[in-house]
Structure 1
Amino acid sequence: MASDVDSAPLVGRADQLAALRAALHDDIGPGQTAAVFVTGESGVGKTRLLTEAAARLRDAGAVVLTGSCLDIGDASPLHPVLQALRRFDADLAAGQARTSSAVRGLLRTFAEESGGADSAGALLERVSAGLSLIAEGRPLVLVLDDLQWVDRTTRQLLLYLLAGLGGLQLSVLAAVRAESLQGAHPLRRVLTELRRLRSVRVLDLAPLDRADTDRLAGEIVGTPLAPEAADQVWQRSGGNPFVVEELARDLRDGHDGLSDTLREIFLSRVDVLPRQAHAAVHAVAAGVEPVEHWLLAEVLGLPEPELIGALREAVAHRLLVGADDGYRLRHRLVAEVLAHELLPAERAGLHRRYAEALTQAPAELHQARLAHHWRLAGEPGRALPAAMAAAREAQRLHGFAEAHRHWSAALQLAATPTSGRSGAPPEVDRAVLLEQAAETAHQSGEHARALSLLAELTGGEPLDPSCGLRIRRARYLAAAGRSAPAEAEYRGVLESVDCTARDRAAAAARLAELLLHLGRYADAGQRAREALELAATVDGSTTEVVLASSALGFSEAFLEDPDAGLAVVRRALETAERSGGPEDVACAYLHLAELLTGPLNILEEGVVVARRGAERVAELGLGRTYETRLLAIATNGLFRVGQWAEAEKVVAAALRHRPSGADAVELLLARCRLSVGYGDVEASDRDLEAVATMLAGGGAPRHVLPMLILRAGLAMWQGRHDVARQAVQRGLTESRSDDVVLLGALAWHGLRAEAEAHASRTVAVDPTAVRRLRDAVDRVTAKSVTAAGPVRLNADGFLALCTAELTRLDGRGDPDAWARSAAEWDKRHHPYPAAYSRLRQAEALLARRSRSSTASKLLRQAHEMALSLGAVPLTSEIRTLAGRARVELTERAQPTGRRPGRTRSTGVGRQSAGAAPATATGEPVADELVTLTAREREVLTAVAEGLTNREIGQRLFISERTIGVHVSHIFDKLQVRTRVQASAIHLRNRGE
């Protein structure tokens, strides 16, 4: 079960390799010996580790002899040593005749020696002398694989060699299959004795952890695995590298099911077990892990001593893992393999025994497991009440995803015909099951599923006369990102004379929350006040009070009094925490974090609140919904303050929840904002396309406008100014938001697109578009006058950018306008727009051929800020202008953004077909490769052709290691992190 060492990378073993080199080479001197015995289950990577370690020890100057033991015991004495010597002799070069003579002399020694007490000692002495001749004063390493099959003579030779051979510096590296060392295996006793020696180490090679498992599978497939596929590989493999490789190859090649190779391997390991151990493995495979000892005893019906013996055998053969809480399969693949080895009646009987054992032990009863076993035993009537009890228990513990699975199972069980043996199922109202399944689907983020179940509950009618169901449908629609029908539903409830005061209070409060997300803050405040008035007449309306208070506080903070509004939102959170309702707490945290990071611009506190709230709602079971939204808020706050690397970690963690609906849109927009800043064109396009698909047919301005702003920003870096214009003009048409900050950002992007088009002379300026943009700027100016102070401050920053961009449209550019813009963003501690403003200020100064020293200083400041962010397109444009102006830039700041190794296609300098690369002002790009040496240019040319370091070395007659050094220097000088970025610069400077 060894991996194919030529086809899979070595992953997750760096620490072990370092330890092996230290133990076998670095820490021993002349005349000393050392040994490392690597143990582990089949497929864990022992052979691969030995091969890599042997290569590294050989590179370090050691003489390495490598052999493998045969599974025929003492019938082939000294086979691994003889094999190692023959391999070594075959690899010797023609100029190593002396060493070859010593090897062949030692081989003759083995052939000539005969048995007998006297000859054994003589053989060991002559082997010692022969190995000394082969080593020629160098360290000698003997590498032996599959040592569990070692013959007696080789075992005696190893012990003799490790006892010391005078001046010979000897190391032994051997691999032992752990499950083979059973009973009285002679090697067990030898290893026990050797462990006591300071010069001997036994290294138990563990399976890979989750991160390394994902990495290995991704390397084989050729791309990172989707979350679902990665989870499946991890669960099925248990981190065993061989199994990971097989599963990954099946994924890569599109094979369904389990490969015959894996099936036969695991079946053969189970088949060699004694009968009772075989039954124990089958029982654990059918159980819900971990399977407690008492439960196995009931299911198997074995006396305690026999049960212990059976389990001990299964654990020793590395099929089961025992712990305090019970027994687990080491690999879940065993369960898949064994599921096909039992007859249907055998499987049903096994599950029945589990269910009966759980039923007879009420103190240990676990309803979910009971429902599972009764269902697989063919008893839906008995499984149904257990499934319902499990669902209620999961809801009580805020496990909404688990609760939804149980309610869904209950729906299926209620519709399953029962046999005469199982009896009639209990009377259950299907409407109750549908209602519970829909609500838990919504709470766990399955909004489309919730709407489907609700439609089934109402018979498919678009509007149900029940006010409660209409409110519920509106909630699900809003969560799915379908704002318009949700708003219509809420308004319908408020206008209906059949709805109670409680219904109208709930509809008003949730409508206020929806309007807040739509950016209609004045309307939200009005509905929130209405909801509070209605809630005051109804007992037990905590949820309505929390939602309405949060919306009212946000509205007041944005439009009127920031301090008073913030205080209202904080009190709403306190009220929610006292009530303990999961969604109440989540909504209050959401509004507080949005208020701090948005209109109030208290970014540091807002990020802290968002992350603290994410942890809190995760405890309440809302990880896939509200936690992801809160982490999206934290990501956006971190982006604005320039902590892009941290923002990337946060959004990556949130996406592991695989959110849907509006929650997914929030996260994708947050990630896309980072990608646009980094210049990752492909990632940005993917996220924008995903968002556009999810918003098809409608969407809230809080989602549509950011999507269009990001589309415009990306298009400008690509030189596609017409695409940027279209995105902004669409945003101006569709905007109904009161959010002057969002509208200001949209107007800036539109004016910037027109200014970029004017400077590049590739797209004509559109006077109609400019006129609409000027109107938008006037609208932002007028609205911001009456807005709260912090909101006005943020809007003023974008207005300063708009004013400065308008000066570029005249073809002049006003340095003073750009200086004011830079000062505005410095006050807000937003490094990205501040760096951009400095770039434009320097550009305007240079165009006027005045104050070149000031321009140089501004370019250096902008460059340092952009470089520290990892903003590749902005950094590139700054460098282009600096190169044209002969300004030397410093390289002190190091990018803190996206990790090296992540492909990032900048798209900077992309022009129309056949056009020469140009700057934003239409002038030719300076030679960005001027800092490279002639050799580095050769290497870069080969990199751009897609060659590996080894292939480049073969072409240029340089070692692979030296090529790696050249590539590192190229990356440093060009300030890139990937081969793709370096290739893009190479092609750009060739005019391709």
Structure 2
Amino acid sequence: MASDVDTAPLVGRAELVQTVRSALLGDGAHGQTAAVFLTGESGVGKTRLLGEIGDRLRERGAVVLTGSCLDIGDASPLHPLLQALRRFDTEVSTSHARTSSAVRGLLQMFADETAGPDGAGALLERVSRGLHLIAEGRPLVLILDDLQWVDRSTRQLLLYLLAGLGDLQLSVLAAVRAESLQGAHPLRRVLTELRRLRTVRVLDLVPLGRADTETLAAAVVGRTLTADAAEQVWQRSGGNPFVIEELARDLRDGRDGLSETLREIFLDRVDALPQHAHAVVHAVAAGVEPVQHWLLAEVLRMPEDELIAAARAAVAHRLLVGADDGYRLRHRLVAEVLAHELLPAERSGLHRRYAEALTTAPGELHQARLAHHWRLAGEPTRALPAAVAAAQEAERLHGYAEAHRHWSAALQLAAEPGPLTVDRVELLENAAEAAHHCGEHARALALLEELAALRGGEPSCALHIRRARYLAAAGRSALAEEEYQRALKAGDCSPRDRASAAARLAELLLHLGRYADAGERAREALALAENVEGSATEIVLASSALGFSDACLEDPDAGLAVMRDALDTAERAGQPEDVACAYLHLAELLTGPLNVLEEGVVVARRGAERVAELGLGRTWGTRLLAIAINGLFRVGQWAEAEKVVAAALRHRPSGADAVELLLARCRLSVGYGDIEAAGRDLDAVATLLAGGGARHVIPLLTLRSGLAMWEGRHDVARQAVQRGLTESRSDDVMILSALVWHGLRAEAEAHASRTVEVDPTAVRRLRDVAERVARKSAGAARPVRSVVEGFLALCAAEVSRLDGSDPELWAVSAAEWDRRHHPYPAAYSRLRQAEALLARRSRVATAGKLLREAYRVAQGLGAVPLTSEIRELAGRARVSLDERDTPAGTRSAPAEASDDELTALTAREREVLALVAEGLTNKEIGQRLFISERTIGVHVSHIFDKLQVRTRVQASAIQLRNQRG
């Protein structure tokens, strides 16, 4: 199964290539025999590796002879060596006359005789002498593919040469199909003999891991795979490179189903099994993995000795994997292939035997398996109770995704004709709630609509509350608020429902940034909950909202204490959503209004781990990780934030959870200057934000404004800000002050660029809003005022740019953001301060110092647009950005190379450089690190600049030099 090496890159084998090359030609290897035998299943990439390693060896000056064994037994003695010599004869240039003559002499010897009068020993000696002449003192490597088909003469030659019986020192690299070495295969004895030699290594080539599987598939498809496609390729391929490439080509070309190439290959492998092993493979393919040995015995009803022998044969042929917990197919594709090889009656019979065996087995029942097998056996009446039990068991273990799948299966089974007695209303309620918990918000709302239609009449208060919860989770906040209001006005609203609706409405208002309204509703909910027994959920939700509101508007210490108490209450009650909600609001408060960023990031990441344990990783866990990303962004740890983005994306979030994550990722993209990626995220957020509140809309428009400014579209930036001021109502003075800064900056940029006229009306409105924000924040908690003051300092400085930028105002802004440990706005302020000083032709040395400090921070962050603007200003002013320059601008003597030349690089840049040194392209690096190709280009540009190199080769040389050091 050779892969198409012209289109697919070599992935995940760099370390193995280096290991083999060192074993064959490493220090001390030349002058003695050495051998490496690569074993592995078909398609795992042995042939590709032989070619790759052969190329590397030739680059090192070795003479490489390459041949393949044929599946024709001993009919062609020494065939692979003859083939290798003929190939080499066509490749060797006329400038190597002696080598060419030696090759042809050896070929002539084979033509004249194969054994000769002196027997096989003399032939082997003459072959050894001929190879010695070909080598001419250079390292000689013999590469043999498909060694499982090696003829007897070649086996004898390998033993002769590697045992050192001839006068030739050579290296051998050979590939062997592991599944072919069964029973008394002659090569097994040869490998056993060779293993005793110290210079012989036998390496098993294992399938690729998940990350490398995705990388290879993406390279073949030509784009990053969706999460679902990547999961499917991984599950179906088992990491086999050939299978990965075939599946990826089907994806790329839009083909559905299984290609005939793969189907025939796997059928051939199954057909090669001994007859009694066929049943084992078919049974495991029909089962739910892992299939325990006792269960397989019950299904097949074979004698124990015969079953073990059959299973051993399937494992030896690399179709099954045996472990302590049972048998698995090495490739799930085998199940797809075999599904079409059985008659329908045979398939249903297998599933029936599985179900009967599981039903009669002592101990705990496997409800999920029972439901699966009874359903495929055509017994819906027996499958339905098992599906319901499996869903309930999954919910007990907080496995909401699994519960949703089982409830959905139960709904389908309940629709089957037959004597089924089931409460469909109850099934719909449970299925909708499970869908909500696992992040399938659209599905939850659809099930709820079906439930409402089934019940008929006016919607109940409880139904309004449930619909509001689902709408809020889907990001449709305005509709959710309306539903909560309907619930509170409903005639059948009980005290418990009223407390629940008020508490959940308080939490929603908090997300909308309406802190005063949230506090009022929270107090109402707490008063109602006092008279309701078992209202822990309502108390946690209301306390979290009240604590956040108080911390922002009145007393941060008291509010924080209330929120910590809410988390303790939630943990004691043990309801997953309550725990998640308490963690979320605590992390939001710390990283937002209170500006305790380091602690907030820790709480967010700890909370994400905790809620993942509770089965809410896709929903609440994603939001908590988004909070961590925002906190890391603000403190300047952008590379770490990227890693958290990659972790959060693996949850495949939807609805409001996806909005939070996309906004967090977009902040990074805007900072990096990845305009294309930022634009895609903003468009996705706008699509998802049907009826979203100020909490999402204002950040969306702020980011759109910032992106438009980097693109030079200052009128678009202005429009985004004005829309944010008009459409959104919020008590969050921090996000409002950030929006106002972007608006004033857009006007200042328009003035500086002279491409768009300044809008005096917009400026006047922005200044009015800034003053209103200042008045409103005066009564807020001190931490909130502190952050707002930083943005207001930026606003005042931006206004000064309209009629002659004031360096003192920019100095105040830089100091404000330094005090809060926010490096990005501090660097931006220093750039503008330097710009103002240079415009006034005063304190040029101070301006140079400011530019160098801003440049250092911007480069460390990877902020490309900011870095470019600093460079442009420095170039116009003839200010050197080299930290080694003296204040007068004269170059100091070149500094001695540090012990580590990579100290100037960030952690992410080091990761990128290491992959550059492996020879990966920007696209391949991006796929490996889950970053866009454009962002990788940005990192590479920074690396070149910091290392003062111009090419990837030069950068790789520095990386390798430091590795050796």
Structure 1 length-normalised TM: 0.90
Structure 1 counterpart SS, 2:453: coil
Task: Describe how 1:804-823 pairs up with structure 2 within 5 A.
Answer: 804-810=797-803, 812-823=804-815
The match for 2:867 is 875
The match for 1:984 is none
Contact 2:705 2:721 in 1 (8 A): yes
Deviation of residue 6 (structure 1)? 2.3
Paired residue type of 1:391: A
CA distance in 2, matches of 1:683, 1:320: 43
Structure 2 counterpart SS, 1:445: coil
The one of 829, 847, 850 equivalent to 1:837 is: 829
**Does the alignment pair 1:786 with 2:779?**
yes
Contact 1:559 1:788 in 2 (8 A): yes
The match for 1:947 is none
Contact 1:438 1:450 in 2 (8 A): yes
Paired residue type of 1:359: T
The one of 737, 748, 755 equivalent to 1:744 is: 737
The match for 1:353 is 353
Task: Describe how 1:520-669 pairs up with structure 2 within 5 A.
Answer: 520-669=514-663
**Residues 851 and 931 of structure 1: is their aligned pair in 2 closer, same or farther, counting only changes over 3 Å?**
same
Deviation of residue 288 (structure 1)? 0.3
Deviation of residue 705 (structure 1)? 0.4
**Does the alignment pair 1:273 with 2:261?**
no
Contact 2:622 2:651 in 1 (8 A): yes
CA distance in 2, matches of 1:29, 1:246: 38
Paired residue type of 1:874: L
For each residue in 1:433-486, what CA deviation from the matched residue of structure 2 results, as whole angstroms up to 9, or x when unmatched?
000000010000111111111111110899944211111111111111111221
The match for 1:858 is 850
**Does the alignment pair 1:710 with 2:703?**
yes
Task: Describe how 1:361-510 pairs up with structure 2 within 5 A.
Answer: 361-418=361-418, 424-425=419-420, 427-459=421-453, 464-510=458-504
Paired residue type of 2:489: E
Task: Describe how 1:110-121 pairs up with structure 2 within 5 A.
Answer: 110-115=110-115, 118-121=118-121
**Residues 805 and 374 of structure 1: is their aligned pair in 2 closer, same or farther, counting only changes over 3 Å?**
same
**Residues 283 and 906 of structure 1: is their aligned pair in 2 closer, same or farther, counting only changes over 3 Å?**
closer
Deviation of residue 271 (structure 1)? 1.0
**Does the alignment pair 1:776 with 2:769?**
yes
Deviation of residue 904 (structure 1)? 6.1
Contact 1:506 1:544 in 2 (8 A): yes
The one of 965, 977, 988 equivalent to 2:953 is: 965
Structure 1 counterpart SS, 2:144: strand
The match for 1:256 is 256
Deviation of residue 768 (structure 1)? 1.3
**Does the alignment pair 1:848 with 2:836?**
no
The match for 1:125 is 125
For each residue in 1:143-176, what CA deviation from the matched residue of structure 2 results, as whole angstroms up to 9, or x when unmatched?
0000000000110011001111565321010000
The match for 2:894 is none
CA distance in 2, matches of 1:869, 1:805: 23
Structure 2 counterpart SS, 1:459: helix
**Residues 905 and 437 of structure 1: is their aligned pair in 2 closer, same or farther, counting only changes over 3 Å?**
same
CA distance in 2, matches of 1:35, 1:969: 30
Structure 1 counterpart SS, 2:164: coil
For each residue in 1:101-131, what CA deviation from the matched residue of structure 2 results, as whole angstroms up to 9, or x when unmatched?
1111111222223547832111111111111
CA distance in 1, matches of 2:586, 2:945: 51
**Residues 863 and 527 of structure 1: is their aligned pair in 2 closer, same or farther, counting only changes over 3 Å?**
same
Paired residue type of 2:526: L
Deviating more after overlay: 356-365 vs 840-849: 356-365
Contact 2:693 2:728 in 1 (8 A): no
Structure 2 counterpart SS, 1:73: coil
The match for 1:824 is 816
Structure 2 counterpart SS, 1:590: helix
CA distance in 2, matches of 1:108, 1:337: 49
**Does the alignment pair 1:8 with 2:8?**
yes
Percent of residue pairs identical: 78
Structure 2 counterpart SS, 1:363: coil
For each residue in 1:661-687, what CA deviation from the matched residue of structure 2 results, as whole angstroms up to 9, or x when unmatched?
110000000000000000001100100
Deviating more after overlay: 62-71 vs 452-461: 452-461
Contact 1:555 1:565 in 2 (8 A): yes
Paired residue type of 2:519: G
Structure 1 counterpart SS, 2:65: strand
Deviation of residue 905 (structure 1)? 5.3
The match for 1:757 is 750
Deviation of residue 96 (structure 1)? 1.3
Structure 1 counterpart SS, 2:174: strand
Deviation of residue 343 (structure 1)? 1.1
**Residues 167 and 368 of structure 1: is their aligned pair in 2 closer, same or farther, counting only changes over 3 Å?**
same
**Does the alignment pair 1:894 with 2:905?**
yes
Contact 1:374 1:383 in 2 (8 A): yes
For each residue in 1:523-565, what CA deviation from the matched residue of structure 2 results, as whole angstroms up to 9, or x when unmatched?
1011111111110001100000000011000000000000000
**Does the alignment pair 1:795 with 2:784?**
no
CA distance in 1, matches of 2:188, 2:568: 63
Deviation of residue 970 (structure 1)? 14
Contact 1:835 1:862 in 2 (8 A): yes
**Does the alignment pair 1:327 with 2:327?**
yes
**Does the alignment pair 1:731 with 2:742?**
no
Contact 2:540 2:582 in 1 (8 A): yes
Structure 1 counterpart SS, 2:118: helix
Unaligned runs of 5+ in 1: 419-423, 910-928, 937-962, 972-992
**Residues 42 and 970 of structure 1: is their aligned pair in 2 closer, same or farther, counting only changes over 3 Å?**
closer
**Residues 20 and 712 of structure 1: is their aligned pair in 2 closer, same or farther, counting only changes over 3 Å?**
same
CA distance in 1, matches of 2:457, 2:505: 17
Deviation of residue 893 (structure 1)? 4.2
Deviation of residue 95 (structure 1)? 1.3
Unaligned runs of 5+ in 2: 884-902, 913-921, 927-931, 939-943, 960-965
CA distance in 2, matches of 1:789, 1:745: 18
Deviating more after overlay: 113-122 vs 143-152: 113-122
For each residue in 1:168-190, what CA deviation from the matched residue of structure 2 results, as whole angstroms up to 9, or x when unmatched?
32101000000000110011111
Deviation of residue 499 (structure 1)? 1.2
CA distance in 2, matches of 1:462, 1:400: 28
The CA RMSD measured in Å over matched residues stands at: 2.1
The match for 2:896 is none
**Residues 157 and 795 of structure 1: is their aligned pair in 2 closer, same or farther, counting only changes over 3 Å?**
same
For each residue in 1:628-684, what CA deviation from the matched residue of structure 2 results, as whole angstroms up to 9, or x when unmatched?
000000000000000000001101111111111110000000000000000001100
Structure 2 counterpart SS, 1:183: coil
CA distance in 2, matches of 1:907, 1:291: 44
CA distance in 2, matches of 1:165, 1:439: 75
CA distance in 1, matches of 2:117, 2:540: 92
**Residues 774 and 357 of structure 1: is their aligned pair in 2 closer, same or farther, counting only changes over 3 Å?**
same
Contact 1:582 1:617 in 2 (8 A): yes
Structure 1 counterpart SS, 2:842: coil
Contact 1:560 1:788 in 2 (8 A): yes
The match for 1:939 is none
Deviation of residue 764 (structure 1)? 0.3
Paired residue type of 1:571: D
Deviation of residue 30 (structure 1)? 5.0
Paired residue type of 2:727: E
Contact 1:30 1:168 in 2 (8 A): no
Contact 2:607 2:624 in 1 (8 A): yes
CA distance in 2, matches of 1:496, 1:217: 54
The match for 2:157 is 157
Deviation of residue 966 (structure 1)? 6.4
Structure 2 counterpart SS, 1:175: strand
Paired residue type of 2:157: L
Structure 1 counterpart SS, 2:882: coil
